[in-house]
A and B are shown apart, each in its own frame.
Chain A
């Protein structure tokens, strides 16, 4: 992706598909970490350490424990998640997803091209889309 520096922009829409409580806890944790300026750190950690929290019935305590290593204030994080202050953002993301007929994750739109699942030729699609945009601008 670094080879595309300046040519692509990623916009992230965390969602809790089907209102899964574990997904909600994780997505809210990520957004709540964003209030402390640590969204991307939390975002990557949640995926990298997924096996450590996603199997738990109540993942928030484990997520909080993992968040300590990122320099996140855990008490503030947990208070934010329990207040559900980030629910409107997640609900808006879900509405957006439904309007685009997103039924599974990850779903990535490369401009208007839809790619579903992790096993996709993202690089090739991006390269073709860049070439197309370049041709249309000439």
Chain B
């Protein structure tokens, strides 16, 4: 005698419960968010390393204009530009 296939009829309580899915959001959206966070972190670290940690120490030349030492009045009719070597 063949066994009778037994199936469980849905009860009213099971019908009321929402279908529980392991991923409440689409899978790609979670990955996109996670990837964006990682990318932002990497970029932030790069910016900090490049512009904060390795900031060059600027010379503080007293009395110089644009790192050039000058004598006389700016706007004088004759400008002497001297390129000289100390040796």
- The verdict on A39 contacting B69 (CB below 8 Å), with A6-B76, A10-B80 known, is yes
- Asked if B70 contacts A14 (CB within 8 A), the reply is no
Q: Once the chains are docked, how many angstroms separate the CA of A26 from the CA of B63?
A: 19
Instruction: Judge if A52 is at the interface, Cβ distance under 8 Å.
Output: no
Which B residue sits closest to A40, measured CB to CB?
B69
Which A residue sits closest to B80, measured CB to CB?
A10
Instruction: Judge if A16 is at the interface, Cβ distance under 8 Å.
Output: yes
Instruction: Judge if B33 is at the interface, Cβ distance under 8 Å.
Output: no
- Asked if A31 contacts B59 (CB within 8 A), the reply is yes
The answer, among B62, B75, B81, for a CB contact under 8 Å with A39, is B62
Instruction: Judge if A30 is at the interface, Cβ distance under 8 Å.
Output: yes
Chain A positions 66-118 with a Cβ under 8 Å from a chain B Cβ: 83, 85-86, 88-89, 92-93, 96-97, 100, 102, 105-111
Residues on A facing B (Cβ under 8 Å): 4-17, 20, 22-23, 26-27, 30-31, 34-37, 39-40, 43, 46-47, 50, 54, 83, 85-86, 88-89, 92-93, 96-97, 100, 102, 105-111, 126, 129-130, 133-134, 137
Q: Can you identify 12 A-B contacts, CB atoms within 8 angstroms? A: A9-B70, A10-B71, A10-B80, A12-B69, A12-B71, A34-B63, A35-B62, A39-B64, A97-B83, A105-B83, A107-B83, A126-B80
- Knowing that A39-B69, A107-B82 are A-B contacts, what are 10 other residue pairs whose CB atoms are under 8 Å apart, sorted by A's residue number? A9-B73, A11-B68, A12-B71, A12-B82, A20-B87, A35-B60, A86-B59, A100-B83, A105-B83, A108-B83
